[in-house]
Amino acid sequence: MTFTEIIETEEKYGANNYKPLDVVLEKGKGVWVEDIEGKKYLDCLAAYSAVNQGHCHPHIYDAMVEQAKKITLTSRAFRNDKLPLLYKKLNEMTGYEMFLPMNSGAEAVESAIKAVRKWAYNVKGIEKNKAEIIVANDNFHGRTLSIVSFSSEEQYKDGFGPFTPGFHLVKFGDIEEIKSKINKNTAGIMIEPIQGEAGIIIPPDGYLKQIREICDEHNIAFICDEIQSGLGRSGKLFAYEYDNVRPDMVIIGKALSGGFYPVSAVLSSKEYLGVFNPGDHGSTFGGNPLGAAVAIAALEVLENEKLVENSFNLGEYFVSELRKISNPIIKDIRSRGLWIGLELTENARPYCEKLMELGVLCKDTHHTIIRVAPPLVITKDEIDWALERFRKVLV
């Protein structure tokens, strides 16, 4: 089909729940993608950080193909030989002692909520069905009904009620407001250590440390959603490391599979994940051998190619060069690692479209913010190539 036919077919048969840039991609390798007409683009979105390892990484591809020849799905009714190896790899990399595998990030968030509530009733002693979780304004934890129930974005909720109770919204970065919401029913505080969908919003220094102290004082579970920020995107393995803290529970996904397959997980301790008994929770595909093999390979790439370090070092360079661009429409530039939010004083989408015409793919968020998040395998030369285009569009 032609470019026009593909778009017309998608719009005819697909639900209208996305408004993508009008580029039709068919190939990808590393930081580069190619459309159906052969034009190449430098990907500065990385599938919302799902392809931190780059498109079609050969090591992950080989692991997927090799496993697909053997067995792909057993369900959790039977054991498989790959899931324990993923658990062991996660333990070695993160130090957490117990894991709950799922598929999508939203599923992992739902699993964390269920774990915290069950812990609250069985361990902390909160009255049944009274547990509350504190979350932040402008959060993005997924699209399920329970998750949008505690979104502050009205569009995410419009037409989907009634909503799941048990959540309190506070201003992101405001520790005093968190303190004001704590009561005897507070079971957890769940935040993104850096808010991605909101536009790479970074909390004040020490914010996470103060949350940790509050949780310790009141016996509250501290949950970090690192689905986007984790696994190297922020220049650390996890963004919470910037405050030198350790959450009770960490949620990961996206780059856990390098973009090959939906894999997510909740990382925690026996105190929290040990509350589950057989039959309490599950997923037919969660923990399947194909996904586990892919995730192991994806983690190996992060380690072997030092992608966390690359994110930190080249992220510093990328943002320093962007900040040299002088234009009154640039309101703010925020960054951690290779995760940059370029906030404008006007609608960002036309600028994303101009960048696309010049061969750079970015995506706007919250109307005025350009997200810049290339795969972590990017080189300085490739960043320089992208910077030339940013200067043409923004100067």
> How is residue 19 annotated by DSSP?
-
Q: Are 197 and 125 part of one and the same domain?
A: yes
392 catalytic per annotation: no
Mind listing the pLDDT tens digit for each residue in 233-265? 999 999 999 999 999 999 999 999 999 999 999
Helices (H), strands (E): how many in the chain?
Answer: 14, 15
- Structural domain boundaries, residue 388: 3-53+306-394
Q: Does 331 lie in the same domain as 217? A: no
Q: What local confidence, expressed as pLDDT, does residue 320 receive?
A: 98
Among candidate residues 140, 167, 260, 390, the one labeled active-site is 140
Are 224 and 112 found together in one domain?
A: yes
The count of structural domains within the chain is: 2
Catalytic option among 43, 254, 285, 363: 254
pLDDT of residue 395: 87
Q: Are residues 136 and 196 in the same domain?
A: yes
Residues 201 and 339 in one domain: no
**Whether 254 and 119 share a structural domain:** yes
Considering the domain architecture, whether residues 294 and 311 belong to the same structural domain is answered as no
Q: Is 69 a catalytic residue?
A: no
Mean pLDDT in runs of 10 for the chain (395 residues)? 95 95 97 98 98 98 98 97 98 98 98 98 98 98 97 96 97 98 98 98 98 98 98 98 98 98 98 98 98 98 98 98 97 98 98 98 96 98 98 95
Q: Is 270 a catalytic residue?
A: no
- Out of 281, 304, 327, a domain closes at 304
247 φ/ψ sector (left φ>0, alpha ψ -120 to 50, else beta): beta
Last residue of a domain, one of 304, 324, 356: 304
Kindly state whether residues 153 and 253 are assigned to the same domain: yes
Is residue 292 domain-shared with residue 314, that is, in the same domain?
Answer: no
Return the CATH number at 235. Answer: 3.40.640.10
Which of 365, 361, 369, 358 lies closest to 331, judged by CA? Answer: 369
Alpha-helical regions (H) of 143-251: 145-149, 154-157, 175-181, 207-218
Q: Tokens 């968190």 sit at which residue?
A: 178
In the listed set 286, 304, 322, which residue is the last one of a domain according to the structure? 304
From 43, 225, 248, 364, active-site residue: 225
Centre a 10 Å sphere on the Cβ of residue 287 and count the other Cβ atoms it contains.
Answer: 27
Do residue 356 and residue 233 come from a single domain? no
Instruction: Give the pLDDT confidence of 321-355 residue by residue, as tens digits.
Output: 999 999 999 999 999 999 999 999 999 999 999 99
